[in-house]
A and B are shown apart, each in its own frame.
Chain A
Amino acid sequence: MTFKAPVESYKGKVAEVTIGKGKRAVTIGGENVLALNQAFDEGAFPHPPKIALEVWDMEPQNWAPWVLEPYKDVAADPAAWAKRCEELGADLVYFYLISADPNEKDTPPEQAAELVKQVYEAISIPMIVYTTGNENKDPAVLAKVAEALSGENLLLGPVIKENFEPIANAAKEHGHCVVSQAPVDINLQKELNVKLSRILSGDRIVLDPLASALGYGIEYCFSVMERTKHVGIQFQDAMMQMPVIANFGGEVWKNKEPKEREELGIAWEEVTAINYLLAGANIMVMRHPEVFKIVKGMIT
């Protein structure tokens, strides 16, 4: 008797979200199978996961030497740094407005927006713009960014339950997508998605359930991401059918072990990446170019 593997097919489908416009547009999501199961099950994974490389709006102070080294000559120049990421083959640039945080340099919103514009004009790939999750400051910063790059369809985030309204409204007015972020909690994630969906359609929302590093609670983050996909694809819950972003580069490299040894750090980020690929991430935010190359090679 020959073995016949069971073939699953599901009725739910992840929303397709396009970030950027014209030549620099990328599309994520659209799958109706679980992560990497298109070879076994009935369905399609039309847009393979994309990788964003991280750029900061101020020179990083505590990065391990081996992760800073590839960017050292450009670390104080975000536009040049972003260009470096493009040359390395990144699908998107993840631009982190850390300096805008009141606990950092408290950069004014106008200045932050101007910098985003400069960086955007220096590259020809789409851009994700993240603030630090500061409930009060983020809306002002992201609204200015939305306005400064009106119509360019950036991915702006994170929006959280305390401040989703002004940011989503700014995104709607200026034609951008937003990241809906809930703290490793699938129920709160759904609630925020429901509220956000009253302002923006599902093809303008990406979910960030938070992605911790290997050894630092990755099990919880993996489960929530995996369940999000189950609920959206298998149980057809429209409020959980947005694509997912896994933002773990910084989570990996802030830890002691990756900072002590380069090979260990590389392996750490790589294994973390593989985990989130398996959990169903549609975009991954990474840091070390070496790991980027390895993981990119796995996907394509």
Chain B
Amino acid sequence: MLLIGENIHIIAKQVSDAVDKQDKKALQQMAKEQADVGVDYVDLNVGPARKNPEIMGWLAETIQEVVECPLALDSTNPLAVEAGLKVAKWPPLINSASGKGESKERMLPLAAQYKCEVILSVLTDAGIPSDAEARAESIMETAAYANELGIENERLWIDPILLPVSVAQQGVVACMEFTQMLPDLLPGVKSTIGLSNISNGAPEEVRGILNRTYMVMLERYGMHSAIVDAFDAELRDLARGKLPGIVEVIHKVMDGEDVDPASLPPKERDYAKTTKVLMGEILYSHTWLET
């Protein structure tokens, strides 16, 4: 599983302050820390950057001065993304395009023009599709459009759009179903997901286990990469195959094997409980680890 580090995100105060002040050092430090722990891409999220789309170019150059790692250029504004594309040293990833009219017209052509890879989400002008089938229908249409522009499947990273488990538990199951369907729908495509979204709204101290469990579950279904909290060491260990015992517990629960969480050591028990919730077998509540 490839990891895209999400930690340079304009919503984080530390990041927006550094960007405002053009504090190169602070931003370079954040990028270095992510590269040091081995992320495969550093995501640069500048938000819509309506007033100053050029900031992405400056930010990309700043980061590239200190790390040798490809960048994910993250903005809804095609002008900002293009500013990054112009200066990217290593083959970048556009984050992201979608089936929305404006995105098809302005973002996707950038991937064609700069011959780069692009995250393509199932989003359309009608919103987020409701289930796996609706996601399939939407992505088939958008991918066909991308193909027509000359962007072949191998350059598309499909994003099923994940919503928090605390508000849309069925969507969590739908994203897994969709991930399983993907190789048949669009042979050759890659895939990615905004992993931390699953735990948005959950108490801070239990966010990590939701993120990690879901990552392992998705990986099993063929997910190619995830946009993650790069500083979650256990998550990185799981992604690098260093915790086979945990993975085994998660897989057993996924297979419907009779796993009694109470019989497991505390850590495995929590993973087993979390897997059951993310499979949709148990109704989510913030207290799921306590029952």
Contacts and interface: CB of A to CB of B under 8 A. Distances in A.
Interface in B17-60: none
Contacts of B285: 187-191, 194, 239
* Chain A CB within 10 Å, residue with most, of B167, B169, B281, B291: B291
Contact of B282 (A188, A189, A237): A237
A240 B283 contact: yes
B204 interface: no
Interface size class of A (residues with CB under 8 A): 10 to 19
Contacts of B167: 187
Chain A residues touching B, majority SS:
helix
Interface string B261-291: 0000000000000000000011111110011
A36 interface: no
Nearest to A239: B291
A231 interface: yes
Of the four ranges (under 10, 10 to 19, 20 to 34, 35 or more), the interface on chain B belongs to 10 to 19
A235 B283 contact: yes
A240 B285 CA distance: 11
Interface in B145-188: 166-167, 169
A186 interface: yes
A191 B283 contact: no
A190 B290 contact: no
Contact of A237 (B169, B283, B287, B290): B283
Contact of B287 (A195, A231, A240): A195
Interface in A220-235: 231, 235
Contact of A194 (B166, B281, B287): B287
Contacts of B166: 187
Contacts of A187: 166-167, 169, 283-286
A252 B166 CA distance: 30
A236 B154 CA distance: 45
A193 to B, nearest CB: 8
Contact of A191 (B281, B282, B287): B287
Given A187-B166, A195-B287, 7 more contacts: A186-B283, A187-B169, A187-B284, A187-B286, A190-B285, A235-B283, A240-B283
22 contacts: A186-B283, A187-B166, A187-B167, A187-B283, A187-B284, A187-B285, A188-B285, A190-B283, A190-B285, A190-B287, A191-B285, A191-B286, A191-B287, A194-B285, A194-B287, A194-B290, A231-B283, A235-B281, A237-B282, A237-B283, A239-B283, A240-B283
7 A-B pairs closest in CB distance: A190-B285, A191-B285, A194-B287, A191-B286, A231-B283, A191-B287, A187-B285
